[in-house]
């Protein structure tokens, strides 16, 4: 695609880092920068610092994930531990010891002291910038003609490139992260949604990002929700790996990878059935934690009102993901000519669907809800999770029609920007805080797929179109993709709460994340789907 006039929105929070697509990255010592609203950059990693540029916020800019051109100032990461800047009046305020700075004429080189290469100050910056820009020439524009959509698509590609890390530590291949700062690590379901976008232009890196997650499987079968070269968590995350592998295989079939992944997926799903069905009734429950701002990090819906009671819940989202994985595993087994395994996984898929309909469906509310394992009743919290049985084919046609009516109802889920994370009827639990109301791009995408499965093609297309338009509207204003968005369109994402407050000066975890992974990668996916209609 052409990038003339693209990547031209300056705003805070845009990340710059060397990409594993171009070469070696360094988890411990790689540079990561973040743009400042007033101009210049914060140095986030490996140590905090500041890159000072003259003149305040630039009037004109080209700002990619690994290079920039700003009002006569040019900069590029020639490799992962160095930043080269050319232009008058630039300076670096960095801690002595960890980082080194070299100035020559109008050039400034900032690098990690232990790896400092002073010769890079003489690098051919024209050639480096040209090389970075050539990357975009290989990328599809899907026939898009709308200027704002093309510009937003260029940003999505650029951001996704920056999320890719090279092999390091115990991770044997390239892998992706939701953002190079502050998340940094590899996350299970994020990696899947990154692969869904990557498959349209780099299926090999998409496959590697999934292989990287599978490589971190523990001896008992668990695949942790968070992994890095230095360790892993002890809980999992939504099981969507088979879904991701199927998506990549649809674009670029690879029987060898399918055969490699299949036994690992079997062990992982077996771990879930053994460890997340506390009452043995056949439905699974998310792990629950003590932190009121993150009752269920395992679910991915950290602070949802669903978990306020801190009770164990048979969960519609967990069981929907699991049912879809079982159905997908049956399809994999048929491809691999394993009929007994195909029958096994198909039976598990059908059993989960039956149990969800019997135990989790609220006829009065027309949606699936969580069920308190100990008390036996539905919780009464209507959340976006309640639509996810659409993805695995659990609802009857009648139930699917009621779910669709719920999505359309302005008193429930038909908010100005859909799909809110909880129903308007649960007003006492609503907050502009992560999963207590705001919209998440990955959930919109999954529900859209569910609507397609049931033949609601027009409704799915409208959901995809509304979602990408909202992302484009905010990109035009801020130059980034946000972690979540306001369902009521009453405030812009930077004003939303995160874990109880909006206080970025206190902690980066108290403001919506900028340059957020799956919001960009699924933008690519949805634009591709819309272009194909």
Q: Which of 514, 425, 348 is nearest to 14 (CA)?
A: 514
User: Contact at 8 Å (CB) between 82 and 29?
Assistant: no
Rounded to two decimals, the pTM is 0.98
Per-residue model confidence (pLDDT) at position 80: 99
Name residues of the chain where pLDDT drops below 50.
Answer: none
H or E element that contains 16: strand 15-17
Q: Output the six-digit token pair for 152.
A: 């937003």
Q: Where in the chain is the domain with CATH 1.50.10.10?
A: 147-531
User: Contact at 8 Å (CB) between 328 and 242?
Assistant: yes
Question: Before 304, cis peptide (omega within 30)?
Answer: no
Per-residue model confidence (pLDDT) at position 532: 79
Q: Output the six-digit token pair for 40.
A: 């210049």
Alpha-carbon separation of residue 511 from 191, 214, 270, 298, 482 (angstroms): 22, 31, 37, 21, 10
What DSSP string runs through 372-400? ETTT-SB----BGGGGGGGGGT-S-HHHH
Per-residue model confidence (pLDDT) at position 301: 98
Distance of alpha carbon 505 from alpha carbon 99, whole angstroms: 24
User: Contact at 8 Å (CB) between 156 and 197?
Assistant: yes
CATH 1.50.10.10 fits 147-531, yes or no: yes
Distance of alpha carbon 480 from alpha carbon 11, whole angstroms: 8
Question: Which residue carries 């360094």 as its tokens?
Answer: 26
CA-based end-to-end distance of the chain: 20
Per-residue model confidence (pLDDT) at position 533: 67
Distance of alpha carbon 402 from alpha carbon 454, whole angstroms: 12
């Amino acid at each position: 695609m052409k990038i003339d006039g693209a990547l031209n929105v300056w705003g805070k929070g845009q990340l710059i880092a060397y990409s594993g697509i171009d070469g070696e990255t360094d988890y411990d010592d790689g540079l990561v920068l973040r743009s400042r609203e007033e101009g210049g950059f914060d140095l986030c990693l490996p140590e905090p610092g500041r890159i000072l540029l003259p003149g305040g916020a630039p009037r004109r800019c080209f700002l990619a994930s690994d290079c920039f051109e700003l009002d006569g100032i040019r900069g590029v990461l020639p490799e992962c531990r160095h930043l080269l800047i050319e232009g008058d009046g630039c300076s670096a305020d960095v801690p002595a010891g960890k980082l080194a700075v070299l100035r020559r004429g109008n050039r400034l080189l900032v690098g990690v002291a232990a790896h400092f290469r002073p010769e890079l100050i003489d690098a051919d910056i024209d050639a480096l910038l040209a090389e970075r820009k050539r990357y975009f020439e290989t990328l599809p524009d899907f026939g898009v003609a709308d200027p704002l959509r093309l510009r937003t698509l260029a940003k999505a590609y650029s951001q996704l490139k920056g999320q890719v890390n090279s092999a390091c530590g115990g991770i044997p291949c390239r892998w992706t992260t939701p953002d190079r700062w502050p998340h940094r690590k590899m996350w299970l379901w994020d990696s899947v949604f990154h692969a869904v976008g990557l498959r349209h232009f780099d299926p090999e890196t998409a496959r590697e990002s999934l292989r990287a997650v599978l490589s971190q499987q523990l001896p008992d079968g668990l695949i942790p929700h968070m992994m890095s070269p230095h360790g892993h968590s002890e809980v999992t995350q939504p099981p969507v790996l088979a879904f991701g592998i199927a998506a990549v295989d649809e674009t670029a079939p690879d029987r060898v990878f399918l055969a490699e992944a299949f036994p690992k997926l079997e062990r992982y799903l077996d771990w879930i059935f053994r460890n997340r069905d506390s009452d043995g009734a056949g439905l699974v429950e998310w792990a629950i934690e003590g932190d009121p701002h993150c009752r269920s990090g395992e679910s991915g819906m950290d602070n949802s009102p669903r978990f306020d009671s801190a009770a164990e819940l048979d969960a519609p989202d967990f069981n929907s993901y699991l049912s879809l994985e079982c159905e997908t595993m049956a399809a994999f087994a048929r491809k691999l000519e394993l009929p007994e395994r195909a029958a096994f996984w198909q039976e598990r898929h059908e059993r989960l669907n039956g149990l969800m309909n019997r135990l989790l469906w609220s006829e009065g509310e027309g949606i699936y809800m969580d069920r308190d394992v100990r008390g036996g009743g539905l919780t009464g919290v209507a959340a976006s999770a309640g639509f996810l049985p659409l993805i695995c084919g659990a609802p009857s046609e009648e139930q699917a029609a009621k779910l669709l009516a719920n999505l359309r109802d302005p008193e429930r889920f038909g908010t100005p920007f859909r799909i809110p994370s909880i129903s308007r009827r649960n007003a006492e639990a609503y907050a502009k805080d992560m999963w207590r109301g705001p919209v998440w791009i990955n959930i919109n995408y999954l529900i859209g797929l569910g609507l397609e499965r049931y033949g609601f093609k027009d409704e799915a297309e409208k959901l995809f179109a509304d979602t990408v338009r909202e992302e484009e509207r905010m990109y035009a204003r801020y130059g980034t993709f946000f972690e979540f968005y306001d369902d009521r369109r009453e405030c812009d994402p930077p004003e939303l709460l995160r874990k109880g407050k909006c206080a970025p000066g206190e902690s980066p975890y108290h403001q919506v994340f900028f340059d957020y992974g799956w919001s960009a990668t699924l933008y690519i996916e949805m634009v591709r789907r819309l272009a194909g209609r």
